[in-house]
Amino acid sequence: MSSSQFRMLSGFNHNLKHKGKTYHIQTEDGGRENPMIITHIFLGGVILSTIRTPYDDLLPHPDWEESLRARMKVQHLDE
């Protein structure tokens, strides 16, 4: 196994303003040992919502990291 199979992908972070409030959206990779895309929505440092999506179905494929990156982006932008 190569070392790339064990590293976590870097995530996404954005701030959104809505009705005078700034929300922080953070999406991260749980890693191969915990194959989960995790998105948190924060307001003032408090987590308002968490979305978890498993990605263990991607792991058997040779290009799983590319597919994971695409899924992370979709989840981040949709939430």
Task: Give the pLDDT of residue 31.
Answer: 92
Q: What is the pTM of this model?
A: 0.84
21: number of Cβ within 10 Å: 9
Give yes or no for residue 3 having a pLDDT over 80: no
The whole-number pLDDT of residue 10 equals 87
Q: Residues with Cβ < 8 Å from 8, sequence gap 6 or more?
A: 28, 29, 30, 31, 32
Tell me how far apart the alpha carbons of residues 38 and 57 are, in angstroms, rounded to a whole number: 16
Assign 3-state DSSP to the chain and report helix, strand, coil percentages, each to 5.
25, 40, 35
Per-residue pLDDT reduced to its tens digit, 7-65: 778 899 999 999 999 999 999 999 999 999 999 999 999 999 999 999 999 999 999 99
In the prediction, which pLDDT does 79 show?
A: 64
Distance CA 62, CA 21 (A): 42
Greater pLDDT, 6 or 67: 67
